[in-house]
Amino acid sequence: MPLTLPRPVRGSRILVGAVVSLTVLLVAVVPGFAFLSGFTKADGGHVIVVRNGGPFDDNSIRQVIQPNSSLTSTGLFSTDHPYPSTQRNFKVSAAENADSNEVINVPTKDGVLVGVEGTFYFDVNYTDEKVMSAFDDRFGTRSYPVPGGDSRYAWDGDAGWSAFLEFTLGNLVQNVLRQEIGDVECADLVASCSLAANPTARAVPVVDPTADGNQTINRVQAAVNAAFTDDVDEVLGMPVLINPRFVLSRVELPANVQDAINQAQAAFAGVTESQAALQRAQIDAEANAARQSGYNACPTCAQMDILKSLPDGLTTYAPGTGFTVAGP
């Protein structure tokens, strides 16, 4: 009698099919995705620091990909940390889009607390791969707070880069500005500041013909640039932010100082108006005296000027006894 094997049930066939499909997925599809993800390229505005991330790799830096690269192999499961390679800035202002989100208040040499707004421009030293690798090791492996309570890595878009700058440069920028602004007088930055500081300025404004506010501002900017370069290299531990240029855009005076300046300017405007009226009266008096002297020497000239000044249409002019002029 022949042996008859039992037919596999339908559920068993489904299970076998699922196992086969899963095996194909694991053997072919997953490695395929992993292979495709092991390539990247940098655009024109970023340099990419690549870190190992495979299950059997360490997390050390694998390579640095320069801007405008072609498609480059980065290995399986590696992670990309893109940093900006174009010129960047750090804006000190109370404007909503500023990096500091506040005016930096620093005292001048004569003790006036001024609000300073400006912008630091700098380049990223992206061509030095050793610098970029050291930078990623130190600052690319932790996150930084952003407004709203969130946090991001320095390589996580513009928001992450701005969070890094604010966290690392905020106090440094304030210290540099405090040091350099503290070496100049308020009037060297804002000329009208002398009106509040000089009591005699209300009546007699003192103007220094050799003073040049632009030269002072340029000198401050140059000093800030030099100090910022040294300090930022010391704070970051590497020359990653290079060629800094600071542009001072605004110096804001305290409300009480500005009020004093406005009052002094108003008072001076009144004095100027009075002086102009007095000068006009003096000139008129001198002219009248000179005119009268001429009439004394030539009485006929006086009468001729009187006739010239008569209004049109007058038919008879009789200023006194014995003198009458009749029109045609």
pLDDT digits (tens, 9 = 90+) for 171-215: 888 888 888 888 888 888 887 777 765 544 444 444 444 445 578
Q: Which residues of 173-198 are buried (b: 16+ CB within 10 A; e: fewer)?
A: bbbbbeebbeebbbbbbbebbbbbbe
**Distance (Å, rounded) from C-alpha 51 to C-alpha 85?**
18
**In sequence order, which residues have a C-beta less than 8 Å from that of residue 84 and are 6 or more positions away?**
45, 46, 47, 124, 161
pLDDT at 207 (0 to 100) = 44
Q: Are strands 61-65 and 46-51 parallel, antiparallel or unpaired?
A: antiparallel
pLDDT at 30 (0 to 100) = 47
Helix axes 213-236, 157-181, angle to 10 degrees: 120
Task: Spell out the long-range contacts of 254-260 with Cβ–Cβ below 8 A and sequence spacing 24 or more.
Answer: 254/112, 254/113, 254/114, 257/112, 257/186, 257/193, 257/196, 260/195, 260/196
pLDDT at 152 (0 to 100) = 94
Which residues of the chain carry a pLDDT beneath 70?
A: 1-37, 96-97, 100-101, 196-213, 256-281, 292, 294-295, 301-310, 312-328
pLDDT at 75 (0 to 100) = 85
Q: What is the 3-state secondary structure (H, E, C) of 81-115?
A: EEEECCCEEEEECCCCCCCCCCCEEEECCCCCEEE
Q: What is the pTM of this model?
A: 0.64
pLDDT at 205 (0 to 100) = 45
Taking only the tens place, the pLDDT of each residue in 86-96 is: 999 988 887 76
Asked if 198 and 223 count as a contact pair (C-beta separation under 8 A), the reply is no
pLDDT at 215 (0 to 100) = 82
Query: DSSP code of 7?
Result: P
**Distance (Å, rounded) from C-alpha 282 to C-alpha 272?**
15
Alpha helices in 7-95 (DSSP H): 10-24, 30-36
